[in-house]
Amino acid sequence: MSSSLCVLGLGYIGLPTASIFATKGRQVLGVDVVPSVVEIINSGRIHIQEPDLDVLVRAAVQSGYLKAALKPAAADTFIIAVPTPFSVTASGARVPDLKYVEAAARSVAPVVAAGNLIILESTSPVGTTEKIKVWIDDELSKLGRKVDGLLYAHCPERILPGQMLKELVSNDRICGGLTPEASEKSKALYEIFCTAQIFLTDARTAELAKLTENAFRDVNIAFANELSLICDRLDINVWELIRLANRHPRVKILSPGPGVGGHCIAVDPWFIIDAAPAEARLMRTAREVNDGKPHHVIAQVHAAAGKDAVVACLGLAFKANVDDLRESPAVEIAEQLAAAGLKVLAVEPHVTALPKVLQGRAELVSLADALARASVVVLLVDHRAFAGLTLAQLAGKKLIDTRGVVRA
């Protein structure tokens, strides 16, 4: 199969996907609406951080198989990998915002041809693949074009930031077509690089499966976070509690933290809650528990900190060993502590500059500097760089360890 591809959206999912197809000898046009992204990729460099992605993209571009552009062009397969955020309505409800998916779908109408396969990889609410067909049909009719036999499928990405390239190849996949033929053709496509099993289903099941995976994790993290609140109230060490409970053969409690960040787990459950609000009660509560955790941590710091306290925030990333500060509960906590007038020292070994919201309001310092100056230490991210910390090093300081890293 020597199909050509057009990948719409060159972010955390689209760029590795486009690049891996290119390194397997498929002609790939990567499309992004941001001119600087197109320029950077065409020069063989990357605009996002992910281990080894730079090497893959450079190889893909240098081989001549990957090119980036601002507009789609004819191809056998179109893969849509654009963001699917939620927006908040006046009444406070979170509703999926499909504007990027719609724009991407409509943009391929001038170039699609009979028999092309159109795949949605973006995590999306149930029914989105059907909507893509409606949007493309609508655009085709506006253009006066008649294109027969277009195939549509949802093949959700499942890769974990920090180990995306490994998981891209080794994770099982789901291909859910609007027709069985679309599912089969998608499977054949992903077999080009995926070494794991590929399961076929319909588009709506595939859409809900992806949402379910992230909602499952959110609910389980919420259980751990709720336990941490209960333990704080009862003065019990939550880490010791979880370690012991997990010795039961059928109990596997996840780890509490300062809240749930990232662009997936804190977002995707809302797509289920929006679609079935009366039924998704547990998922809604889990979201509320996880979204409430940063406020609990902030309250703990205020309770520990005197008026002239210097607070060291260890870690700003949304999770361990990544440099991604977007949608990070750690950033939210540092920002609110600074806004409340506390002196905030931020330690984040993965970045060289503070995010905008902290610029001028906090200081980015080394771990040694923070430990020398702080009266309160808030451990927010379980980065490897903090793994050796001991209570002895923090003698005389107040400690709020949201990740259970500091050893006796």
Which range in 29-37, 88-96, 153-161, 226-234 contacts ligand SAJ by CB under 6 A? 153-161
Phi (first) and psi of residue 242, to 5 degrees? -70, -40
- Could you say whether residue 159 binds ligand SAJ (CB under 6 A)? yes
Which range in 60-68, 140-148, 260-268, 344-352 contacts ligand SAJ by CB under 6 A? 260-268
Contacts of 390 (CB under 8 A, 6+ apart): 406, 407, 408
Which one among 261, 315, 349, 404 touches ligand SAJ, defined by CB under 6 A?
261
Residue among 16 and 30 whose Cβ is closer to ligand SAJ:
16
Residue among 30 and 262 whose Cβ is closer to ligand SAJ:
262
CB of 27 to ligand SAJ, least distance (A): 26
Residue among 83 and 110 whose Cβ is closer to ligand SAJ:
83
Q: Euclidean distance between the first and final Cα of the chain, in Å?
A: 58
Which range in 69-77, 256-264, 342-350, 392-400 contacts ligand SAJ by CB under 6 A? 256-264
Which one among 155, 260, 316, 347 touches ligand SAJ, defined by CB under 6 A?
260
Which one among 194, 318, 354, 398 touches ligand SAJ, defined by CB under 6 A?
318
208: alpha, beta or left? (left if phi > 0; alpha if psi -120 to 50): alpha
- Could you say whether residue 350 binds ligand SAJ (CB under 6 A)? no
- Could you say whether residue 257 binds ligand SAJ (CB under 6 A)? yes
Residue among 202 and 213 whose Cβ is closer to ligand SAJ:
213
Residues 51 to 110: which contact ligand SAJ by CB under 6 A?
Answer: none
Q: Which residue has the tokens 């998916």?
A: 101
Residue among 145 and 252 whose Cβ is closer to ligand SAJ:
252
Exposed, middle or buried, 199 (CB in 10 Å: 0-12/13-18/19+)? Answer: middle
- Could you say whether residue 123 binds ligand SAJ (CB under 6 A)? yes
Which one among 154, 158, 187, 383 touches ligand SAJ, defined by CB under 6 A?
158
Residue among 67 and 154 whose Cβ is closer to ligand SAJ:
154
17: alpha, beta or left? (left if phi > 0; alpha if psi -120 to 50): alpha
Residue among 30 and 156 whose Cβ is closer to ligand SAJ:
156
Binding mask 278-317 for ligand SAJ (x = CB under 6 A): ----------------------------------------
- Could you say whether residue 272 binds ligand SAJ (CB under 6 A)? no
Which one among 255, 336, 375, 393 touches ligand SAJ, defined by CB under 6 A?
255
- Could you say whether residue 160 binds ligand SAJ (CB under 6 A)? yes
- Could you say whether residue 217 binds ligand SAJ (CB under 6 A)? yes
Annotated catalytic sites, by residue? 210, 264
- Could you say whether residue 165 binds ligand SAJ (CB under 6 A)? no
Per CB under 6 A, residues contacting ligand SAJ are 123, 157-161, 213-214, 217, 221, 254-255, 257, 260-262, 264-265, 318-319
